[in-house]
Structure 1
Amino acid sequence: MESLNDDCVCHILEFLPLVEQIKMARLAPRFQELLCLIVWRKPRYRKVSVSDSMLEPLSKEDYVFFFELTSAAMEELYIWNVHKKAFDSYLGRHLMRPELAFYLRRDYRNLRELCIADESMNNSMINTIAKSCLQLRSLSVSSAYITGKYIVALTKLESLVAPECSVELSYLTELLKVLPLKHLDLTSNRHPVEATILQAEGSKRLERLGLSDAQDYGFPLADSLPQLTTLVVSYHKVSPQDQLDMLETTRKRVEGYEGKFPKRLQSILCNVVDVEVALEQIAGLEKRQPRESPKFSELLKIMYFLSNAQVADKSSP
């Protein structure tokens, strides 16, 4: 191997599974350098999920080694409930994966998208992310401990997906004013955000918006935000009769706006069992860890197919 040039060595290394690549990286500085500079900068290593099958065979030591060497080249990172993951040791014991803080302390100078599904996320961790992820364009988090503090330090952020968080209105006003946000999802936020979004000048940049319990089925938002292309409104504890009324009202409003709302109002989600998964699978507003499909109400399916059928009718010859 030592007699081969760098191109030949990299070609060989690319054929090895990740476990063997890490063994090679430990053998000699040359192999580690080539792996870090060339092989581990391939697309499959720039987009990493802790649930990725390529990481499953790694021991905890190799797992940590891999993240320490490759984090600077990562562009997308998805972290799901790390406390539920475990390794099998040679003694038959279960070794837990590193705590969430391990991932946040890495060098992410090239990271563009970060998605963390962990209820222990808090403002201090957001502050750590702001210091290490200077190029971050998209952030997805879900935790009641996140109030919006420090998010404004992510100056290049264009997409913020923060369902079931506690984003305070003062921080939301600042975020909409300072950040170049185009996509905002505050579904099930603990504070009512609709009025703040309507009043903020920066809201006019929004192209995608998700929130809960909007007034008048979300039509004031669709009217006020000129760049909006996707609006998803979720409602909780809605009676069957109210659902039917919402469906009929929405249908009439869509028909009366001469093709404007079939394109701009994608769907209204009613009585959803799992709002987060619904937004992912139906509206495409966020990326979430793989989970079982939620049990949607029949009305939700009807509304979804109707809204899409109307869009198709408008665009067909």
Structure 2
Amino acid sequence: MERLNDDCVCNILEFLPLVEQIKMARLAPRFQELLCLIVWRKPRYRKVSVSDSMLEPLCKEDYVYFFELTSPAMEELYIWNVHKKAFDSYLGRHLMRPELAFYLRRDYSNLRELCIADESMNNSMINTIAKSCRRLRSLSVSSAYVTGKHIAGLANLESLVAPECSVERVYLAELLEQLPLKHLDLTSNRHPVEATILQAEGSKRLQRLGLSDAQDYGFPLADSLPQLTQLVVSYHKISPQNQLAMLDTTRKRVAESVGKFPKRLQSILCNVVDVEVALEQIAGLEKRHPRDTPKFNELLKIMYFLSNPQGGDKKSP
């Protein structure tokens, strides 16, 4: 192979599984260079998930080697609870995959999107990301230890998805003013943030917003944010009676707006399906985007027949 030109070598390397590619990279500097500069620059290697099937056959040593060589070219990276990965010993003392800190130490000079679903994430790690991911446009994290500190250091960030975090109002106001955010999801945040979003001038750039326990299902926010097209709301500690009462006030709010309620809204999502349907009706979305209504009577008949196939069609005497 050493006599072949670079194009021929790359064609051969591309047909090899990742395990064999890594063996070739270790074999000669030329192969490593061709893999790093050409083969591993393909989209498949620039958009990586730690649960990707191509990584499964790798031993820990090869896994680390691959990430060290390819991280500078990565554009999207998805990391899921690394501490729950399989162990290579019965006692569970040696992880087959590196810990979260390993990923954060890499060079991500071209990374655009980063998703870390790991409950151990904290502000210090966010600070590391802000320093190593200068081009990051989308960040997804979920951890009670993330308060919003250092996120403003991600100057190009357009999307922040941070459910079940502890984003504090002072940091939220800071990042809304300093970052070009278009998508913000703070559902199940441990601090109330609705008032901060309403007051921040930077909120007017938001096109998609997700939050929990919003007043009147977030409709006041939809009125105030001129670019908003998608609204996601969730409720967890509200009684059915209070939900019905809030639906009534929301319906009145829209009725009294005399056509001023924003027709730019394209979707409203809620964790309570019945409420979501009601909100779509209130906002007129069911006319713009018709949806199939479940035929509950038919479903009940099927469920009853399956649970009682012998007597499902029998009439009582």
Q: Report the TM-score, using the length of structure 2 for normalisation.
A: 0.83
1:264 aligns with 2:265: yes
Amino acid at match of 2:124: S
1:105 aligns with 2:105: yes
1:299 aligns with 2:300: no
Q: For residues 21 and 259 of structure 1, what CA distance do their matches in structure 2 show?
A: 60
Q: Counterpart of 1:235?
A: 235
Q: For residues 93 and 193 of structure 2, what CA distance do their matches in structure 1 show?
A: 47
Q: Counterpart of 1:176?
A: 176
Can you list the C-alpha shifts for 1:233-288, whole angstroms capped at 9, x where unaligned?
111123334445555665676677659546416225144xxxxxxxxxxxxxxxxx
Q: 1:12 to 1:71 in 2, by over 3 A?
A: same
User: 1:176·1:203 contact (CA, 8 Å) conserved in 2?
Assistant: yes
2:36 is paired with a residue of what secondary structure? helix
Q: Which has the higher contact order (CA 8 A, sep 6+)?
A: 1
Q: 1:114 to 1:311 in 2, by over 3 A?
A: same
Q: For residues 269 and 167 of structure 1, what CA distance do their matches in structure 2 show?
A: 21
Q: Counterpart of 1:191?
A: 191
Can you list the C-alpha shifts for 1:114-135, whole angstroms capped at 9, x where unaligned?
0000010000000110111010
Q: 1:252 to 1:312 in 2, by over 3 A?
A: farther
Q: For residues 262 and 94 of structure 1, what CA distance do their matches in structure 2 show?
A: 56
User: 2:207·2:227 contact (CA, 8 Å) conserved in 1?
Assistant: yes
Q: Counterpart of 1:35?
A: 35
Q: Counterpart of 2:287?
A: 310
Q: For residues 300 and 63 of structure 1, what CA distance do their matches in structure 2 show?
A: 46
Amino acid at match of 2:155: T
Q: For residues 51 and 231 of structure 1, what CA distance do their matches in structure 2 show?
A: 30
Q: CA RMSD in A?
A: 2.4
Q: Counterpart of 1:74?
A: 74
Q: Counterpart of 2:202?
A: 202
2:77 is paired with a residue of what secondary structure? strand
The gaps in structure 2 that reach 5 residues or longer are 291-317
The gaps in structure 1 that reach 5 residues or longer are 272-297
User: 2:268·2:276 contact (CA, 8 Å) conserved in 1?
Assistant: no
Query: How many matched pairs?
Result: 285
Amino acid at match of 2:287: Q
Q: For residues 71 and 310 of structure 1, what CA distance do their matches in structure 2 show?
A: 47
Q: Counterpart of 2:300?
A: none
Q: 1:304 to 1:114 in 2, by over 3 A?
A: farther
Q: 1:270 to 1:114 in 2, by over 3 A?
A: closer
Deviation at 1:210, TM superposition (A): 0.5
Q: In percent, how many aligned pairs have the same letter?
A: 80
Q: 1:265 to 1:9 in 2, by over 3 A?
A: closer
Q: Counterpart of 1:61?
A: 61
